[in-house]
A = this chain, B = another copy of it.
Amino acid sequence: MSNAFIRHLSGYGLLDDTETALLGGACKNLRELPAGAHLIREGDEPDPVFVILEGWACGYKILPDGGRQIISFMLPGDFCDIHIAILQAIDHSIMTLTKATVATLPRAEMEALIQARPMLTQAFWWSQLVDQSILRSWIVSMGRRKSVERVAHLMCELYIRMRNIGLASDHECRMPLTQLVLADALGLTPVHVNRVLRSLKAARIMELSHGSLQIIEPEKLAQIAGFDGNYLHERVHKFA
């Protein structure tokens, strides 16, 4: 019994059969959600932990003035921010961007898993660390990259992440993001995102349409983005 989540965590090379089996058992509780459904809303009581098995989701925060900033994209196999189940206060919301199927892990079960299998704690932790690298790279993008570079960088990141989970090939993949969503993730305006996208298409570097990304000139795109995929850490060190 394997799913995107287990493949993801096993990727770190830490888990034995007992542990993957335990994870498999924990993921029995499935839920189908439409696009635009909330998994967690800021202020909720944190109870179950969610894992995306299919579809896309994003985390975001609403500002006093009503603006929205998207903080993370979640792809199949990703935790919906475990921290949310651990820290007391929930400091942001999570919603699906497409139809999605998620597994729900009751908090108690998470705790039992962690108690029983320290190696799982480590695997969770490492997965966290990769997420953190992504957050850092976003900060770099927002702080120091111009709009074209930012768009290019995000496309590179998402393409590689999709490829890492076997959902991309030939420089094409699904990318179900509206220009509004993109704008809220990149700290730009929808109209500006539109112009940037348009210019990248005109330059025959990449094209984003109908929910799909096609990278025409991968090297050029990576160069514009200043992209260095190391931070996605496909491989990790073992302790012990």
Determine if A69 is an interface residue (Cβ-Cβ < 8 Å): yes
Question: Is there contact, CB below 8 Å, between A136 and B236?
Answer: no
In the assembled complex, the Cα of A196 lies from the Cα of B59 at a distance in Å of 30
Q: Is the CB of A69 within 8 A of B237?
A: no
Most buried by B among A118, A184, A186: A118
Residue of B nearest to A186 (CB): B143
Interface size class of A (residues with CB under 8 A): 35 or more
CB pair B144–A236 under 8 Å, yes or no, is no
- Judged by a CB distance under 8 angstroms, whether A20 is at the interface is no
Closest to A84 in B: B129
Contacting B at CB under 8 A, from A59-110, are 59, 61, 63-65, 67-69, 71-72, 83, 86-89, 91-92, 110
Q: Which residues of chain B have C-beta atoms less than 8 A from A115's C-beta?
A: 239-240
A29 contacts B by Cβ under 8 Å = no
Collect the chain B residues with CB atoms within 8 Å of residue A128's CB: 125, 128-129, 132
Q: Who on chain B is nearest to A70 by CB?
A: B143
How far does the alpha carbon of A88 sit from the alpha carbon of B233 in the complex, in Å?
7
Question: Which residues from B are CB-within-8-Å of A87?
Answer: 126, 129-130, 133, 233, 236-237
Pairwise interchain contact B140-A71, C-beta atoms closer than 8 A: yes
Chain A residues in contact with chain B, CB under 8 A?
46, 59, 61, 63-65, 67-69, 71-72, 83, 86-89, 91-92, 110-111, 114-115, 118, 121-122, 124-126, 128-133, 135-140, 142-145, 184-187, 226, 230-231, 233, 235-237, 239-240
With contacts A83-B129, A86-B237, A110-B239 known, what are 7 further pairs, Cβ within 8 A?
A: A87-B233, A89-B230, A89-B233, A91-B137, A135-B136, A139-B142, A142-B143
Jot down 29 A-B pairs with beta carbons below 8 A, ordered by A: A63-B144, A63-B145, A64-B226, A65-B226, A67-B144, A68-B144, A69-B140, A69-B144, A71-B136, A71-B139, A71-B140, A83-B132, A86-B239, A87-B130, A87-B236, A87-B237, A88-B233, A89-B230, A89-B231, A91-B133, A91-B137, A114-B239, A115-B239, A118-B121, A121-B125, A128-B129, A135-B139, A142-B187, A143-B184
